């Protein structure tokens, strides 16, 4: 399975790393626009991240998100066993 | 300014060759025109094979125009500053295929009327075909890297 198949869908394959940004944002009561401004990324990019469409995250972005949401990387990143792996 | 001049010149050349190619290819179909041109330049070869060679040149003309069409399509994406797209990979693959077909047709022409120039053309278009195909693969990877980069937050 290629990365693009995994991310952009062929059938029901899902990305193994899930971003639980919306959960943390709800806990901290931070909106998307506000967070994008604090993290200094565009709203479009933050949406990509939030909707699990991103292929990679820079450490600098992760650091900025954790600082803005006062949380640990583990609070927003979750590993889910791939459905199609053995 | 210099870069803009090159871009303008390239676009003009592509457009000129594309439309001139269409005109010349269509003119091959005008009865008697090619004979008159050949007589004007005192060129009396192809005797006995005139129709077959005319058909071959007509097909070659169509293929050349198709290649130029793909090039124009690709250049438009360059002007839009978004050239690393899958469409360009397809265009390169097509250009490679057309080049190989041209090489095959040129080989046919050498069977009817052998010239060294035509043999050289066969080689040139085989190399051009290979060049396009290899570039298509390279471009395909470039598109994947760009997509990955675009989706790296």
- Rounded Cα distance between B6 and B106, Å, is 32
Of B144, B147, B153, the CB nearest to A45: B153
A43-61: pLDDT as tens digits: 999 999 999 999 999 999 9
- Rounded Cα distance between B77 and B110, Å, is 38
Residue of higher predicted confidence among B145 and A10? B145
- Rounded Cα distance between B136 and B25, Å, is 28
Average pLDDT, chain B: 91
Please give the pLDDT value at position B90: 97
A19, A76 in Cβ contact below 8 A? Answer: yes
Residue B110 confidence (pLDDT) above 50 = yes
What is the pTM for the complete model shown? 0.77
In the stretch 106-145 of chain B, residues with CB closer than 8 A to chain A read 144
Please give the pLDDT value at position B42: 75
* Cross-chain Cβ contact B153/A41 below 8 Å: yes
Q: Is A30 helix (H, G, I), strand (E, B) or coil?
A: coil
A2-34: pLDDT as tens digits: 444 444 444 445 568 999 999 999 999 999 999
- Rounded Cα distance between B62 and B20, Å, is 12
What would the two tokens of residue B6 be? 């090159």
- Rounded Cα distance between B100 and B97, Å, is 5
Residue B135 confidence (pLDDT) above 90 = yes
CA distance to B33, B52, B55, B122, per residue, from B49 (Å): 16, 6, 10, 20
Residue B106 confidence (pLDDT) above 90 = yes
How many CB pairs lie under 8 A apart between chains A and B?
Answer: 27
ipTM of the complex: 0.73
Place of tokens 């250049």: B75
């Amino acid at each position: 399975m290629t990365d693009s198949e995994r991310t952009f869908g062929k059938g029901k394959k899902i990305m193994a790393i899930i971003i639980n940004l919306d959960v943390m944002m709800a806990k901290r009561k931070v909106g998307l626009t506000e967070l994008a401004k604090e993290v200094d990324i565009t709203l479009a990019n933050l949406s990509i991240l939030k909707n699990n469409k991103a292929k990679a995250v820079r450490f600098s972005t992760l650091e900025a998100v954790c600082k803005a949401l006062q949380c640990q990387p583990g609070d927003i990143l979750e590993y889910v066993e791939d459905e199609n792996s053995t | 300014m210099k870069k803009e001049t090159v871009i303008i010149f390239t676009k003009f050349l592509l457009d000129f060759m594309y439309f001139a190619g269409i005109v010349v290819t269509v003119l091959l179909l005008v009865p008697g025109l090619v004979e008159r041109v050949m007589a004007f330049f005192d060129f009396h070869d192809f005797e006995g094979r005139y129709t077959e060679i005319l058909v071959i040149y007509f097909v070659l003309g169509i293929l050349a125009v198709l290649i130029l069409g793909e090039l124009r399509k690709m250049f438009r994406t360059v002007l839009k500053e978004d050239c690393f797209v899958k469409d360009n990979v397809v265009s390169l693959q097509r250009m490679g295929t057309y080049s190989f077909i041209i090489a095959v047709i040129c080989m046919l022409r050498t069977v009817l009327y052998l010239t060294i120039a035509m043999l050289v053309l066969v080689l040139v278009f085989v190399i051009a075909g290979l060049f396009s195909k290899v570039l298509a693969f390279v471009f395909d990877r470039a598109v994947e890297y760009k997509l990955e980069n675009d989706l790296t937050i």
